[in-house]
Amino acid sequence: MVNVLVIGSGGREHALSWKLSQSSKVDKVFTAPGNGGTENNIPIEIDDLNALSDFAQKNNCFTVVGPETPLAAGIVDRFNQMNLKIFGPSQKAAQLESSKIWAKNFMKRNNIQTARFEIFEDSKKAEEYVQSLDYNVVVKADGLASGKGVIVCNDTDEAIAAIHTILVKKTFGDAGNRIIVEERIDGIEASYIALCDGVTAIPMATSQDHKRIFDDDKGPNTGGMGAYSPTPVIDDILAEKIQNKIINKTLQSMKNEGIVFKGFLYAGVMIRDNEPYVLEYNVRMGDPECQPITMRMDFDLYDYFVASVDGTLSMMPQITWKNQSSVCIVLASEGYPESYLKDEEITGFDLIPKNAMVFHAGTKKQDGKILSNGGRVLGVTALGDTLASAISNAYIAAEKISWPHKYYRKDIGKKGLSHI
């Protein structure tokens, strides 16, 4: 029996630790630092690589990295040097997410479909450039900004304001020292995630995230307000196209450049005229997509994580999924993604029906109570035999939970229904 250490404190990490704890090969699952819903929490921050590696070594842990920050900091390289087993990409491989500019240039030199773009560090030059264009743009900060460093613009004035926000006001700090200005591709967005071992990439179930804070995709971007799986937006033909043109090509191109990509490779794609374009890469499971995807897993996730690390995915049996839909609704603190209150008591956990799970994100346990402790607080996730029933089950469960400043979108999954 082996112990598992899951690094992170979000809904994704709660879902991963919940799923991994079901493996017959796993003794105990620790979460560092964890949240109000995870068990066996270890008070070590995600960027304290020394303390994390010491803990993993002393407790015979197989380590799973949830968030991008420690991956970008080189946690996998550190653990590998110490002969500790860890699931996730190396620091070089993590550049696909940690530098959007690196990723765009990588796609360009390897002919992976993405929007046309230019790179700037001078705001005046960037402004002159957007004024010369006859199409709308998206302005992106180069570095990690918790999923918020992307501004979708409807006209030139908005583009200039976005350039100002990132390069002049430094809203995202050093992550915004350089920006990408790229063509805005209008289409349907979906998440395509694959489990990789450097050579083989096994697709996970498809999903669709809802990034904007308000219904009908209005308002600023967030870390994600809900997701559902599978999505009818990606049919089998399109899935094969994404797998071959994007996932396999990325893996092979990385290998050609001397980088072995192990871990979750996430392609955020925009589908226009049935062609997939890469909007961005992530090098870890999406959050909240992870929650509905793990709910549907009908296999031992631990086995596949080990095979990813060992490079033996091609020898693993075909993975299977529950023949049901799953929907996750993120319950957030009112005011997110700007300022919001914390430390409000949350109730209603005992009223959740059997077909739903509440994954904790921004919560903490104090004196036996669960308190809000972040912008995205909970991910209420439910199964259903159809997408419509999964949506209904998730909203019934979400309504059972209450705290004074709870906010959530009322239209999660609706985009999927309009596709069926």
Give the C-alpha separation, 346 to 351, whole Å.
Answer: 12
The β-bridge relationship of strands 356-360 and 376-384 is: antiparallel
Tokens representing residue 161 in the block: 């304001």
Could you report the per-residue pLDDT of 326-343, keeping only the tens digit for each?
A: 999 999 999 999 999 999
**pLDDT on residue 146:** 77
Give the C-alpha separation, 105 to 124, whole Å.
Answer: 22
Rounded to the nearest 10°, the torsion over CA 316, 318, 324, 328 is 40
Q: Is 215 helix (H, G, I), strand (E, B) or coil?
A: helix
Give the C-alpha separation, 299 to 239, whole Å.
Answer: 21
Tokens representing residue 271 in the block: 């589908």
Beta bridge partners of 183: 137
In 3D, which of 107, 45, 34 has the Cα closest to residue 70?
45
Which CATH architecture describes the domain 188-315?
A: 2-Layer Sandwich (3.30)
Domain boundaries, the chain: 2-88, 116-183, 188-315, 325-417
234, amino acid identity: I
- Flag whether pLDDT at 11 surpasses 80: yes
Average pLDDT score over the chain: 97
Fold designation for 2-88 = Rossmann fold (3.40.50)
**pLDDT on residue 147:** 73
In 3D, which of 336, 329, 377, 376 has the Cα closest to residue 357?
329
What count of other Cβ atoms lies within 10 Å of the Cβ of residue 314? 10
Judge contact between 17 and 6, C-beta under 8 A: yes
Could you report the per-residue pLDDT of 186-226, keeping only the tens digit for each?
A: 999 899 999 999 999 999 999 999 999 999 999 988 999 99
- Flag whether pLDDT at 420 surpasses 80: no
Burial 353-385 (b: 16+ CB within 10 A, else e): eebbbbbbbbbbbeeeebbbbbbbbbbbbbbbe
**pLDDT on residue 119:** 97
- Flag whether pLDDT at 241 surpasses 80: yes
Q: Is 76 helix (H, G, I), strand (E, B) or coil?
A: helix
Tokens representing residue 315 in the block: 């020898």
Beta bridge partners of 297: 321
- For the chain, report the end-to-end CA distance as a whole number of angstroms: 44
Could you report the per-residue pLDDT of 280-297, keeping only the tens digit for each?
A: 999 999 999 999 999 999
Could you report the per-residue pLDDT of 363-412, keeping only the tens digit for each?
A: 999 999 999 999 999 999 999 999 999 999 999 999 999 999 999 999 99
325-417 classified as CATH 3.90.600.10: yes
- Flag whether pLDDT at 419 surpasses 90: no
Judge contact between 323 and 358, C-beta under 8 A: no
Give the C-alpha separation, 380 to 361, whole Å.
Answer: 11
| Total-model pTM | 0.95
- H-helix or E-strand containing 4? strand 2-8
What count of other Cβ atoms lies within 10 Å of the Cβ of residue 90? 20
What count of other Cβ atoms lies within 10 Å of the Cβ of residue 271? 18
| Residue in the structure block whose two tokens are 């402790």 | 373
Could you report the per-residue pLDDT of 55-81, keeping only the tens digit for each?
A: 999 999 999 999 999 999 999 999 999
Give the C-alpha separation, 34 to 52, whole Å.
Answer: 13
Instruction: Give me the sign of the Cα torsion angle 253, 258, 260, 265.
Output: negative
The mean pLDDT of 85-114, rounded to a whole number, is 98
What is the CATH number assigned to the segment(s) 116-183?
3.30.1490.20
Could you report the per-residue pLDDT of 147-176, keeping only the tens digit for each?
A: 789 999 999 999 999 999 999 999 999 999
- Flag whether pLDDT at 31 surpasses 80: yes
Domains 2-88 and 325-417 share a fold: no
| Residue in the structure block whose two tokens are 């997408």 | 387
Q: Is 409 helix (H, G, I), strand (E, B) or coil?
A: coil
Give the C-alpha separation, 65 to 80, whole Å.
Answer: 13
Judge contact between 115 and 184, C-beta under 8 A: yes
Judge contact between 42 and 7, C-beta under 8 A: no
